[in-house]
Amino acid sequence: MSETRFKALKDLPAQHLLLPGTPMCPGCGGLEVVKQVYDVLGENTVFVNAAGCLTLLATYPFTPFRGSWIYTAMASAPAGAQGIRDALDILIAKGRLPPAQNLDVVVLSGDGAAYGMGLGPTSAAIDRGLDFYYLCYDNEGYGNTGQQTSAATPAGARTATDHGPVGFAGEKKDLFSIWVAHHPPYVATITSADPVDLARKVETARGHAGPKLFIALAQCPTGWHYDPKDTVQMGRLAVATGIWPLKAYAGGRVTHTRRPKPKGERPPVEEYLRAQGRFDHLFSPTRNEEALARIQARVDAYWDAAE
């Protein structure tokens, strides 16, 4: 980015918090989530970016944020957030930083780090009561390196490392429940396809001190194999079919902020699966009735228990 272009971007109106021209894949659901969250939190924010897809937001020495940004290794973002939060608190206590210039500390992590190698450091940060936001953009695979299977990959999805006739034979890890087991002040699932629900949850989280944790569906055209123009529709389908529950944990209880239609009225999960190339093998050349029924039954059982 040239110096002239950088100065021009800096002169954009204040509401354009995330500057244009970021080198991300077209239709990236994770980028949409970050833009929407950032619009609510504002520029008095420091993003602690764990290695992953959204590391590509920055091109040294520039980032698209009007606030602050720091890069960390994949598992180190919660520890980095602790150091930044401690430093800010010390500077404020010593009168060297006006409280009005305090920053919200936000960990930005893909599912590879959040569900896997960074889970231990995140657990420790929650236990310490670290006052931070943790935003996981969940594209259900190691998207930055070719969409290999992660602990967030759903059953039946084909990835670069599970490319057989059944796709991934395991199940997606329930990170929401793992986080809730720590009893933090706030946990929520979000999607950029429902910006009102997302904004309400981020605003609610601002009223809580301590760990505020978000799992965001990050639709991924390159890894999921669909047209980038369908990213919003893909998020809506995930919610409508019930495969991506929108919910929040606070005050010791879980509530669903959006409920799909009752069983028999809501769209079948296969409408969501059929729209993505990573599930093509479940429909062609032979329809895999067993796998489809198993995926549908899991979703139905979740909502039956949530009634």
Token pair listed for 232:
């919003």
Contacts (Cβ under 8 Å, ≥6 apart) of 190: 33, 197, 198, 201, 202, 214, 215, 216, 217, 246
Token pair listed for 233:
């529709």
Per-residue pLDDT of the chain (307 residues; tens, 9 = 90+): 344 433 443 444 444 455 444 567 899 999 999 999 999 999 999 999 999 999 888 887 888 888 899 999 999 999 999 999 999 999 999 999 999 999 999 999 999 999 999 999 999 999 999 999 999 999 999 998 999 999 999 999 999 999 999 999 999 999 999 999 999 999 999 999 999 999 999 999 999 999 999 999 999 999 999 999 999 999 999 999 999 999 999 999 999 999 999 999 999 999 999 999 999 999 999 999 999 999 999 999 999 999 7
Answer yes or no: CATH 3.40.140.10 is held by domain 3-306.
no
How far apart, in whole angstroms, are the C-alpha atoms of residue 238 and residue 219? Answer: 10
Long-range contacts of 260-264, Cβ-Cβ distance < 8 Å, separation of 24 or more: 260/303, 263/300, 263/303, 263/304
For the chain, how are helix, strand and coil distributed in percent, rounded to 5? 40, 20, 40
Token pair listed for 218:
């990050």
Residue 270: what residue type? E
The confidence score (pLDDT) of residue 5 equals: 36
Per the CB < 8 A criterion, the answer to whether 106 and 80 are in contact is: no
Q: Which residues pair with 256 in a beta bridge?
A: 247
The 8-class DSSP code of residue 262 comes to: P
**By C-alpha distance, which of 88, 95, 53 is closest to 68?**
88
Residue 83: what residue type? G
The confidence score (pLDDT) of residue 3 equals: 45
The confidence score (pLDDT) of residue 267 equals: 97
The confidence score (pLDDT) of residue 18 equals: 54
How far apart, in whole angstroms, are the C-alpha atoms of residue 288 and residue 284? Answer: 8
The 8-class DSSP code of residue 95 comes to: T
Residue 196: what residue type? V
Per the CB < 8 A criterion, the answer to whether 257 and 247 are in contact is: yes
Exposed (0-12), middle (13-18) or buried (19+): which is 40, by Cβ within 10 Å? Answer: middle
Token pair listed for 114:
């959040």
Long-range contacts of 260-267, Cβ-Cβ distance < 8 Å, separation of 24 or more: 260/303, 263/300, 263/303, 263/304, 266/240, 266/241, 266/242, 267/237, 267/240, 267/241
Which helix (H) or strand (E) covers residue 187, if one does? strand 186-191
Token pair listed for 307:
């009634």
The confidence score (pLDDT) of residue 56 equals: 86
CA 190: distance to chain centroid?
8
Residue 6: what residue type? F
H-helix segments, 21-109: 29-41, 77-93
Max CA separation in the chain (angstroms): 69
The confidence score (pLDDT) of residue 46 equals: 97
The confidence score (pLDDT) of residue 8 equals: 40
Hey, is 118 helix, strand or coil? Answer: coil
